[in-house]
Amino acid sequence: MSIWTDLTGVDHAVRFVDAGGVRTRALQAGTGEAVVFLHGTSGHLEAFVRNIPAHAERYACHAVDMLGHGYTDGVDEPYRIPRYVDHVLAYLDACGIDRAHFVGESLGGWVAGRLAADHPDRVGRLTLVAPGGTVANPQVMERIKTSTRRAVAEDDIGLTRKRLQLLMHDPAKDVSEELVEVRHAIYHRPEFVKRVDNLLCLQEMENREPDLLSAAQMGRIVAPTLIVWGAQNPFGDIPEAHRMNDSIPGSRLEIFGECGHWPQHEHAARFNRLNLDFLGEAR
């Protein structure tokens, strides 16, 4: 078995797209309206391999390594939220996509939420999966920063395994050795090591606070929005999800039990049914 076994039988391609001058890796599969999948901090497109096959039966799926993540090139500046948004818009333009649905997990949800607030014409429906971006918790920020930096700096795959295990309610079930090896290889790419501080800049208070999704920004979101939250999310308590739900007009909140920070992966079958029903409401 492999994490890529999930894609067996699915016509797909992994391509590099020039997104505004940034060489960007994307997994593309399916036809129809575009659905763009955005991962979390220090993540990569493999976060969605359990979701692409079901979604590709109805939609043109684009799982994208965000700026400076995975095998996408970085830039010599801190990766702030507006810069991530510009990169995603450049990817859409490069692929000839005027409007897409978005599935954003953690940092990806933060970026997708900001994109929906500032560029409503580019967003169809919005799915926010354990999204970040509404609070600045110093303890959580320090945990993300320290665990990621150590796993990148030291050639110890056990540290990468621990970094992934932080995300899951049941690591024994959901953190495979192959997933660990994929992330470990990414963490030790010279490009990634060189710019890891750019990637972690949102864990610094002076960068994070100005970039937080404000109540006013969330109030501007007009895209129908589904929020999915793990009851045991280690990076955000349930009240945070309710505050986001209250701030985005007409949004819907689903809380998954026995679930950490990767609901789309930890409970893939449930998430796929829920999200496909939600996306189908647009038709």
Taken in order of first residue, the domains within the chain and their CATH numbers are 3-137+213-280 (3.40.50.1820)
pLDDT band at 2 (very low <50, low <70, confident <90, very high): low
CA dist list (Å): 85 to 92, 98, 101, 150: 11, 15, 14, 28
Digit-coded pLDDT (tens) for 89-133: 999 999 999 999 999 999 999 999 999 999 999 999 999 999 999
From its phi and psi, is residue 259 left (phi > 0), alpha (psi between -120 and 50) or beta? beta
Residue of 55, 101, 261, 265 marked active site: 261
- Rg, Å, the chain Cα set: 17
Per residue in 217-272, pLDDT (tens digit) is: 999 999 999 999 999 999 999 999 999 999 999 999 999 999 999 999 999 999 99
Catalytic residue at 267? no
Query: What is the amino acid identity at position 259?
Result: C
User: Is the pLDDT confidence value at 1 over 80?
Assistant: no
pLDDT one-digit tens code per residue, 125-178: 999 999 999 999 999 899 999 999 999 999 899 999 999 999 999 999 999 999
Using the predicted structure, report yes or no on whether residue 75 has a pLDDT greater than 60.
yes
CA–CA–CA angle 227, 122, 195 (5° rounding): 75
pLDDT in tens, 56-72: 999 999 999 999 999 99
∠ CA 3-106-30 to the nearest 5 degrees? 50
Please report which confidence band the pLDDT of residue 282 belongs to, taking 50, 70 and 90 as the band edges. Answer: low
Sheet holding 252-256, edge to edge: 12-19, 22-29, 60-64, 34-38, 100-105, 123-129, 225-230, 252-256
